[in-house]
Every structure is written in C-alpha cells, then in structure tokens.
C-alpha cells in the first residue's frame, strides 16, 4: 500500500487532500506531446491522468480498492477547478476535465490547503465536567478543581472507626437528579467516551462541543422502538409517507407492495429512483456539516473494526433524532436491497451494492467545502457501515452502563459524619479528567494513601496537648491493636514510646514521726494481747 496512514485527529480531510496532491504530482508520468503542430514538454493526457490517479488511490491505505475510475475522474475535475493542474494553455477553473487525449500539465506551484492552526487554550471548546452532586441549579461552564485539604479533626473523625470508635453520623436524604442534570451527564460522558475511543488528547479541531445538544443524545438512547429505531415526537420531521412506502416496497420485494399498485417491467427501478431523488434533494447530509470532521476522523480507525464500530456508535448518538432515524431506515434499506436475491438488477451497468453506495454516499456524508474528498471519503464510510450495519447504529452498551451506574450513585443516600467537611470538599467536587493506571499502580497508591492517613492520625494523637495522658495512652493502645506494624515503626523501642509522656516530678517522702513509729510498733503486741484475752 502506498502512502502513510493518516490516523484520527483534527483536519484529517485537509491532510488527505494535501497528501493526495503530493503523491499525484510526484508520481504522474510526464513527457513530450504534440498537439495542433506544437510541442508541449512535461505534459500528460487526461486518460493517462485518470489511469494513474485511480491506481494510486486504490493502493493507498487511506482510500482502498473500493475507489472507482469515475471517482478518480471526479477528483481530477476538482484538481483542475482548484488549479492543482491546468491545460497546456494555462487555463483552469471554469474548464472541464475530460477522460480523453486532451493535454494537461502541472502549474509551477501546486496550491496546498493550509492546515488550520490549533485553537488557543482560552478559546478551546471543552468537555463539560461530570458533576458528582446536583448542588448546582445552573450548570457551570467550567468548575475549577479544589485540592482536598482535611484538617486533623476531620481525619480523627473519619478514621476513628479504625481505632475502635464509631463517630456520630447522620443519613442525608437522597439527592434529586433533575432531567437537566441527566442531559448534562449524558453529554459530558458521551464526549469523554468518544475522546477515549479515538485516542485523542482533545476534541478541538474535530468537534465543537458547545454546538451539540444533550437532549438529542438522550432522545436517541431512550426514544426508540423494539428494533432500536428512533421514534420522533414531531411527525413533521419524519420521512413522507410515500417515501416510507417506497422504501418498504423495495426492501421487502416482491412482498412489500402494500399500495396494490400495478407492477410493470421496470417498476422496481422507478421505486428506487423515487427514494433516491428524495434523499438527494436534502439540504444537508444526514451526518450534518457540523459533524463532518469527526466522521472523517473515524476513517483512520478502520484497520481496527471493533474500535471503528464503537466510535461510529458514539458519533451517531450526536445526530439530531430526525437525522438518526432517516439514517437508520436508509441503511436498513441499502442492506436489505443488496441481500435480496429476488430483486431484479436496478442498473444494467453496475451491481446493486455499488449502485447503493454511489447513489446515497453523498446524501450521508459530505462537507460544505467542494474541495474536500467527499466522494472518496463518503464511499469508504458508507461501505463500512453497510458491512457492519447491525452494530453501527446501536447504543454503545459500555457507555450506557457507565452513565446508568453514575446516575444510580448520585441518587443513592449518603452518610455524613458529624463535624466532617465532606460536603465542602469531597461530595461537591466534580470529577477531574483522569489518566488510566495499571492495577499494580492502583494497589500501590491505595496502600500508600491509606497508610499516610493512618500515620497522620497517629501523629495527631501524639501531639494533641488537650488530651489527657490517660486518654492518650488508651487511644495509643487501641491504635497498637489495630495497626501493629505502623505503631512498631513509630515506636521501635520502649524508650521511644515513653519519650512522648512528660516525666512527673518525684514526690518527697514524708519525714518519720517518732510517735507514729512507736504507736505502729505497739499495734502487733496489742493484737497479741487481745488473743490472750
């Protein structure tokens, strides 16, 4: 395969356009040609250009063997319009490129499309953070992270159970998660999931998160029928009844003619033409101009089928519900038609599969800019979607499970310890973006983090001047029973343990009293006299 693979990322269509021009200019054979009694050096014919570009694209791993000769011709017409090539008289733009012996040449400098600069950090679109609690009535645009700082009193209260005490606590009512919060969580977690699948550090350049509707995502997930097809609230946004009837007739041929129309030779071709004309009159492709870059970016994942399918599942959730429904119905039609062996050929020149891709690819994906490689990119995307139609337009199971678990956690009742400042630090702090770590790293962090807190608790007990010596000894004994290893490291010898308690001043012994001694000395004799008595 020729050419480097351009993976997912910002401005992939622009990079593909520039790479194709470089490969074509560098490999196109040129020689001397005679025309109208004149000699033209470094020129080539239109037919030779189509042959060379067609073979180049078929070998390129960014496009593949699905590229047709007609698509190569269409791309050369774009090249001529944008002055990538010119005829031997220097004309371009309004001229038309023909697949014949007409002569063309390259201009001195080929105009490559500039790759846009990265957006400044201050202007970047961001993935809205996932809120842990619904304490915010108005969704913030960005919430700064606050470091967790728990004072010694909080640590004592939170970890006192480790040394045998159960602190006072109370049950907080279940948090009410509003529909607005549900929409926001679905949007933020969907974009975070998409960023992870694509393997990108940021979605800047491929997607503007601010223009996406969270309600569209929620509608596409839950407002569906048994087949998983979106159900629209506004029937005016749906396909016209006559288009739906024509699609059903074609997909279930010959048993789908519910209108009892007379079937004549070529009837199926007229039905197909009716459906095609409706979709070709759409003002915007089903995947929308706004999402063009993100869908083109997914093309770089096609060597890994499973990842590409998952990325397409997430991206299709971002579509307006009406577009997603039309795309689902159209893909079902295309797949059923290709697999229906009872359906007569719809075109004498090409097969049904190729006809479907060529007819509807531009209705599914294209950019507002004519220069882009719409025909080639849309063909590759639609072909992949037809081959994986059962999984592409489903709701990602992993994403749905993650969101439902998160919402369930938010609705769960919480326990608050008396005096602990969890409300102001832990519970109201939103999630930060996290880096995935290994299981071993997690275990190491878990051990070091918990031991650090316990060590800090021990030091607080030791240095608490307000605590009596009796209570301090009691708590240290409890700590020693619960955490003998940590206690032994802190007090390796009895002397180190005794050093934390201040020495008491020695009390003076009272002076001996002669009369007391005499009295005490006589007491045994008195008892003996009493025995005699």
Model confidence band, residue 522 (pLDDT cutoffs 50, 70, 90): very low
Which pTM does this prediction carry? 0.67
Residue that is written with structure tokens 């020149």 in the block: 349
- Point out the domain boundary residue: 105, 128, 159: 105
According to the model, what pLDDT value does residue 509 have?
53
Instruction: Say whether pLDDT at 50 is over 70.
Output: yes
Range of lowest pLDDT (68-77, 260-269, 273-282, 435-444): 435-444
If you average pLDDT over residues 465-477, what whole number do you get? Answer: 84
Model confidence band, residue 277 (pLDDT cutoffs 50, 70, 90): very high
Model confidence band, residue 301 (pLDDT cutoffs 50, 70, 90): confident
Highest mean pLDDT pick, 146-150, 179-183, 445-449: 179-183
* Cis amide leading into 254 (omega within 30): yes
Distance CA 112, CA 532 (A): 131
Please check whether residue 405 lies inside any domain of the structure: no
Model confidence band, residue 452 (pLDDT cutoffs 50, 70, 90): confident
Contact criterion met (CB below 8 Å) for 253 and 247: no
Instruction: Say whether pLDDT at 31 is over 60.
Output: yes
According to the model, what pLDDT value does residue 494 have?
81
Domain of 251, CATH number, reads 1.10.555.10
- Point out the domain boundary residue: 344, 364, 399: 399
By DSSP bridging, strand 414-417 and strand 31-35 are: unpaired
Please check whether residue 70 lies inside any domain of the structure: yes
100 Cβ contact partners less than 8 Å away, ≥ 6 residues apart:
45, 46, 47
Domain of 54, CATH number, reads 1.10.10.10
- Point out the domain boundary residue: 105, 123, 140: 105
Model confidence band, residue 475 (pLDDT cutoffs 50, 70, 90): confident
Distance CA 356, CA 22 (A): 31
Instruction: Say whether pLDDT at 103 is over 80.
Output: yes
Instruction: Say whether pLDDT at 71 is over 60.
Output: yes
Please check whether residue 512 lies inside any domain of the structure: no
According to the model, what pLDDT value does residue 176 have?
75
Same domain, 87 and 220: no
Same domain, 375 and 232: yes
Same domain, 101 and 221: no
Instruction: Say whether pLDDT at 151 is over 70.
Output: no
According to the model, what pLDDT value does residue 525 have?
44
Please check whether residue 199 lies inside any domain of the structure: no
Name residue 169's beta-bridge partners: 417
pLDDT, one tens digit per residue, over 306-359 is 999 999 999 999 999 999 999 999 999 999 999 988 899 999 989 999 999 999
Please check whether residue 484 lies inside any domain of the structure: no
Structural domain range at position 47:
12-105
Domain count, the chain: 2
* DSSP assignment letter at 341: T
Model confidence band, residue 64 (pLDDT cutoffs 50, 70, 90): confident
Instruction: Say whether pLDDT at 526 is over 70.
Output: no
If you average pLDDT over residues 416-431, what whole number do you get? Answer: 47
Tell me the CA distances in angstroms from 249 to 99, 263, 331, one per residue in order: 38, 11, 15
Please check whether residue 152 lies inside any domain of the structure: no
Please check whether residue 455 lies inside any domain of the structure: no
By DSSP bridging, strand 169-172 and strand 414-417 are: antiparallel
According to the model, what pLDDT value does residue 150 have?
44
The CA-CA-CA angle for residues 125, 126, 131, to 5°, reads 145
Q: What angle do the packed helices 305-317 and 321-339 form, to 10 degrees?
A: 140
Instruction: Say whether pLDDT at 448 is over 50.
Output: yes
Highest mean pLDDT pick, 62-71, 395-404, 420-429, 496-505: 395-404
Model confidence band, residue 158 (pLDDT cutoffs 50, 70, 90): low
Distance CA 41, CA 94 (A): 24
pLDDT, one tens digit per residue, over 191-233 is 999 999 988 888 888 888 888 999 999 999 999 999 999 999 9
> Which of residues 407 and 154 earns the better pLDDT score?
407
> Which of residues 291 and 495 earns the better pLDDT score?
291
Please check whether residue 188 lies inside any domain of the structure: no
Model confidence band, residue 421 (pLDDT cutoffs 50, 70, 90): low
pLDDT > 70 in the chain, percent? 73
């Amino acid at each position: 395969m020729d050419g480097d693979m351009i993976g997912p990322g910002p401005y992939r269509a622009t990079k593909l356009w520039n790479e194709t021009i470089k490969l074509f200019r560098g490999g196109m054979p040129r020689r001397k040609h005679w025309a109208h009694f004149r000699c033209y050096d470094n020129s080539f014919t239109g037919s030779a250009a189509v042959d060379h570009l067609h073979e180049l694209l078929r070998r390129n791993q960014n496009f593949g063997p699905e590229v047709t000769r007609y698509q190569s011709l269409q791309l050369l017409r774009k090249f001529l319009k944008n002055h990538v090539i010119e005829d031997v008289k220097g004309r371009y733009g309004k001229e038309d490129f023909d697949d014949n012996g007409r002569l063309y040449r390259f201009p001195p400098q080929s105009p490559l499309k500039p790759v846009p600069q990265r957006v400044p950090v201050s202007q970047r679109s961001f993935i809205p953070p996932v809120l842990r609690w619904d304490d915010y009535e108005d969704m913030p645009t960005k919430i700064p992270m606050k470091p967790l700082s728990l004072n010694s009193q909080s640590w004592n209260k939170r970890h006192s159970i480790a040394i045998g005490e159960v602190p006072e606590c109370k049950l907080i009512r279940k948090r009410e998660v509003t529909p607005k919060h549900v929409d926001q969580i679905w949007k933020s977690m969907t974009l975070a999931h998409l960023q992870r699948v694509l393997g990108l550090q940021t979605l800047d350049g491929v997607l503007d998160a601010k223009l996406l509707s969270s309600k569209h995502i929620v509608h596409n997930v839950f407002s569906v029928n048994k087949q998983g097809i979106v159900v629209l609230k506004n029937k005016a946004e749906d396909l016209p009844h006559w288009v739906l009837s024509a699609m059903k007739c074609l997909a279930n041929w010959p048993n789908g003619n519910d209108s009892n129309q007379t079937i004549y030779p070529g009837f199926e071709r007229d039905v197909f033409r009716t459906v095609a004309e409706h979709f070709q009159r759409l003002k915007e492709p089903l995947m929308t101009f706004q999402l063009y870059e993100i869908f083109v970016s997914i093309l770089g994942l096609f060597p890994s089928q499973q990842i590409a399918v998952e990325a397409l599942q997430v991206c299709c959730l971002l579509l307006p519900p009406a577009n997603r429904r039309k795309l689902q119905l159209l893909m079902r039609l295309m797949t059923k038609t290709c697999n229906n062996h009872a359906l007569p050929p719809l075109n004498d020149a090409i097969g049904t599969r190729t006809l479907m891709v060529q007819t509807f690819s531009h209705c599914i994906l294209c950019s507002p800019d004519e220069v882009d490689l719409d025909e080639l990119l849309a063909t590759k995307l639609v072909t992949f979607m037809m081959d994986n139609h059962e999984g592409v337009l489903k709701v990602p199971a992993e994403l749905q499970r993650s969101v439902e678990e998160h919402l369930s956690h938010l609705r769960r009742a919480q326990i608050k310890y008396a005096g602990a400042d969890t409300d102001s630090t832990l519970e109201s702090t939103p999630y930060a973006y996290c880096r995935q770590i290994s299981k071993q790293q997690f275990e190491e962090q878990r051990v070091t983090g918990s031991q650090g807190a316990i060590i800090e608790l021990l030091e607080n007990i030791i240095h608490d001047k307000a605590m009596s010596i009796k209570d301090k000894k009691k708590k240290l004994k409890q700590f020693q029973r619960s955490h003998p290893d940590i206690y032994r490291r802190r007090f390796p010898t009895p002397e180190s343990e005794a050093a934390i308690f201040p020495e008491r001043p020695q009390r003076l012994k009272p002076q001996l009293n002669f009369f007391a001694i005499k009295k005490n000395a006589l007491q045994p004799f008195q008892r003996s006299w009493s025995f005699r008595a």
